[in-house]
Amino acid sequence: MESEEFALVRELLRSFTARHRIGSADEAGPAARSAAQQALDGLGLAELRRTAKPVATVQECALLAEEHGRHPLTTSFLGRTLLAPEAVRLLGEAGREIDGTPALALAPDLGFPRPDAAALVAWDCEGADSALCVDTEGTVRRAELGPPAPTADLLRTVRGARPGPVVGRLTAPALRHWQAYALVIVTSELVGAARELVALSVGYARERRQYGRPIGSFQAVRHLLADATVLVEACTSATRYAAWCLDHEPPGRALTAARVAKAEAGSSAVEAVYTGMQVFGGIAQTWEHVAHLYLRRVLVGATALAPPGELLPTLAEPEGATR
């Protein structure tokens, strides 16, 4: 059951998405991005996880990320509002020295950065003035933003970044918590995007007519959409359980659950959106249609932080040996 306070926050985000969602790739210009980001910043949601005792649980933040993923939005909700503040919180006293509005810095392939990384990308960084790099050993560095970097996700702002001075270090449990949290938040948005594209394709199947009947009345199309719905529900369940683990279980167990969720969504969500695109047919392949924006977000999200091909061998290791 949602708390009354969180229900209000969720409704606030839903009102924001209704006002600032875009209808096509042509609407994702710099002016629209800046205006939407300023409106999002005005909601104050970056404070949900920044304080020593977070205002919102991980489960609540994951639901907000899922809600954000359901809409074609150009706002940097994950990188600036949910992920960077959590890194600041985990740094404790050192985090209180960090000012400005940082985003999150990742490796150029969007994986967790290694300690020797010479190049980074500031991921989901619309309106940010710097970035934080949390490497695989728990060292946190401030990163300087560079020029825009290419990305297949047309809704996401990505810039090059250069690693700078060390601002602090995470303990081993804090590092496991951070990695689990990052995986859960990214996966939640990925699941939200996949769910929405499948829902849009179901609506399209009810309206599009062939041979005098809605295409959704044909058994083959019904089977496709039923399978896609089951896939979305599977990765939704795994992701929400992983978020619950972060609130109630030790960091090691939470990290395992987060890896399972990311591996599941990285496969199932991609298959679900491919099905949605197939049901839409040729119209979904056009630049003007919104479907490819969801497809791009899911495909990039499936590889961000850790693709299934990297997660599955780690999960196959004996319990207690998981990194």
134-157 per-position pLDDT tens digit: 999 999 999 999 999 999 999 999
- Tell me, what's the pLDDT at 3? 79
Domain residues of the chain, as ranges?
Answer: 174-315
Size (the chain), residues: 323
Could you report the per-residue pLDDT of 281-292, keeping only the tens digit for each? 889 989 999 999
Question: What CATH number was assigned to the domain covering residues 174-315?
Answer: 1.20.140.10
Nearest-angstrom CA–CA distance, 84 and 117:
19
- Tell me, what's the pLDDT at 318? 65
Closest by Cα among 314, 313, 311 to 323? 314
Task: Give the type of residue at 212.
Answer: G
Closest by Cα among 184, 98, 173, 96 to 133? 98
Please, which pLDDT band fits residue 320 given cuts at 50, 70 and 90? Answer: low
Q: What pTM value is reported for the model?
A: 0.94
Please, which pLDDT band fits residue 227 given cuts at 50, 70 and 90? Answer: very high
- Tell me, what's the pLDDT at 1? 43
Could you report the per-residue pLDDT of 18-76, keeping only the tens digit for each? 999 999 999 999 999 999 999 999 999 999 988 888 889 999 999 999 999 999 999 99
- Tell me, what's the pLDDT at 307? 87
Nearest-angstrom CA–CA distance, 242 and 261:
7
Could you report the per-residue pLDDT of 173-213, keeping only the tens digit for each? 999 999 999 999 999 999 999 999 999 999 999 999 888 89
Pairing of strands 130-134, 102-106: parallel
- Tell me, what's the pLDDT at 310? 86
Mean pLDDT of the chain: 92
Beta bridge partners of 120: 161
- 229 Cβ neighbours under 8 A, 6+ residues apart: 198, 202, 272
Q: What is the largest CA-CA distance in the chain?
A: 67
- Tell me, what's the pLDDT at 319? 61
Average confidence (pLDDT) over 162-182: 95
Beta bridge partners of 210: 213
Closest by Cα among 140, 8, 165, 11 to 86? 140
